[in-house]
Amino acid sequence: MSKSHTKSQPAAPSAPHGAPAKGHTLLPIARASISTALGRPLEAAEHEPWLQESGACFITLTQRGQLRGCIGTLEARRTLLADVKANALAAAFSDPRFSPLAAVELEHTEIEISLLSAMQVMQFESEAHALAQLQPGMDGVVFEYAHYRSTFLPQVWEQLPSVPEFMAHLKHKAGLPPDFWATGVRLQRYSVSKFKESDLPPTSAKAPVKEKA
């Protein structure tokens, strides 16, 4: 029996170790940061040692299932604690697609945190070769060409399940035509561990957050 000489592709990056349980700590921190900035001071437990490790995340805000803000960091350049706080505030008040969040909106605003794995640079010989490596529903993708750059979290596959459509929209988001391709295109992929308040028991999502004196 002859052996296959097909080159195997690198496995997709794995999600951060132990990340699901981290939502119980990170979600209250994100909510406390936003609430305090809105004049409703809250505090959340910040004593976990891993909060001081480098980390990168995206914070997504939704209201009744509709996007209300989403800002994040692709590469770990500060502590996870600092990254969560900064991105929570940015998603609430600095997303250019939306007006700043108002205090009256906070009660019906849900927070979701996506904790990113390390980036994996993709190797490919053509666009078709690159698309064949993508795993719908699992891969977040960073598209780069010259000064053009964009990313989609893995959650975007829910709206764009077709690989060609996913890539076309990713290029459009970067400011390029959907059918654009060039030899200088660079792709990276990553995975996320995501958790949102509605997925946690009611006492887990908000109970650790308490009003400051």
Could you give the C-alpha distances from 196 to 82, 183, 200, in angstroms and in order? Answer: 19, 39, 7
Q: Are residues 110 and 142 in the same domain?
A: no
CATH number for 80: 3.30.700.20
pLDDT of residue 201: 72
pLDDT of residue 40: 96
CB atoms near residue 199 (< 10 Å): 14
CATH number for 160: 3.30.1490.150
Instruction: Give the three-class secondary structure for 102.
Output: coil
Q: Which two tokens stand for residue 87?
A: 């991105």
Per-residue pLDDT of 108-126, as tens digits, reads 999 999 999 999 999 999 9
Give the predicted TM-score (pTM) of the model.
0.81
Q: Which two tokens stand for residue 53?
A: 């490790």
Which secondary-structure segment (H or E) carries 191?
A: none
For residues 65 and 46, what is the distance between their CA atoms, to the nearest angstrom? 29
Q: Say which DSSP state 10 is in.
A: P
Domain tally for the chain? 2
For residues 48 and 155, what is the distance between their CA atoms, to the nearest angstrom? 27
pLDDT of residue 63: 97
For residues 51 and 49, what is the distance between their CA atoms, to the nearest angstrom? 5
Confirm whether 203 is domain-assigned: yes
Domain limits for position 89 = 19-117+192-211
Per-residue pLDDT of 3-27, as tens digits, reads 433 344 445 555 454 555 799 999 9
